[in-house]
């Protein structure tokens, strides 16, 4: 099993550009989520999904879109990148929402100039 994979590992964008961060898991997990990690702020939930076709907002959803067309994939779209979106982004998946271990991908380091 590859676990949770994320691409790209690094990305530099200019303000106003759009892009998609890819996330895939091969563990047949129903629950997937996106977090951003910023110094001194821990991990903050952006969006999450409890299954194919079902997504919901987390703590910091503004400026991001998600969709879940398959169990395996959960891409995160930045619509119009802003410097405030410079961060490290982590995708995670788990068997369930309550009490389950979340498995994290290696992260994408995004810089917006």
Partner 1 sequence: AQSVTQLDSQVPVFEEAPVELRCNYSSSVSVYLFWYVQYPNQGLQLLLKYLSGSTLVESINGFEAEFNKSQTSFHLRKPSVHISDTAEYFCAVSGFFGNEKLTFGTGTRLTIIP
Residue placing its CB nearer to partner 1 in the complex, 37 or 71: 37
Residues 5-64 that bind partner 1 (CB under 8 A): 33, 35, 40-45, 48, 58
Q: Using the rule CB under 8 A, is 71 a contact of partner 1?
A: no
Q: How far apart are CA 66 and CA 81, in angstroms?
A: 15
Backbone φ and ψ of 30, nearest 5°: -80, -35
CB 64 within 8 Å of CB 55:
no
Q: How far apart are CA 64 and CA 88, in angstroms?
A: 14
Number of residues in contact with partner 1 under rule CB under 8 A: 22
Residues in touch with partner 1 (CB under 8 A): 4, 33, 35, 40-45, 48, 58, 90, 92, 97-99, 101-102, 104-107
């Amino acid at each position: 099993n590859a676990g949770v994979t994320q691409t790209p590992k690094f990305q530099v964008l200019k303000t106003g550009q759009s892009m998609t961060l890819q996330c895939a898991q091969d563990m047949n997990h129903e629950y997937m989520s996106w977090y951003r990690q910023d110094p001194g702020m821990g991990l903050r939930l952006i969006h999450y999904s409890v299954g194919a076709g079902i997504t919901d907002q987390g703590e910091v959803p503004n400026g991001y879109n998600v969709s879940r067309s398959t169990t395996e994939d959960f891409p995160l779209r930045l619509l119009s990148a802003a410097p405030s979106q410079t961060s490290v982004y982590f995708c995670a998946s788990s068997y369930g929402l309550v009490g389950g271990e979340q498995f994290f991908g290696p992260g994408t380091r995004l810089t917006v100039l």
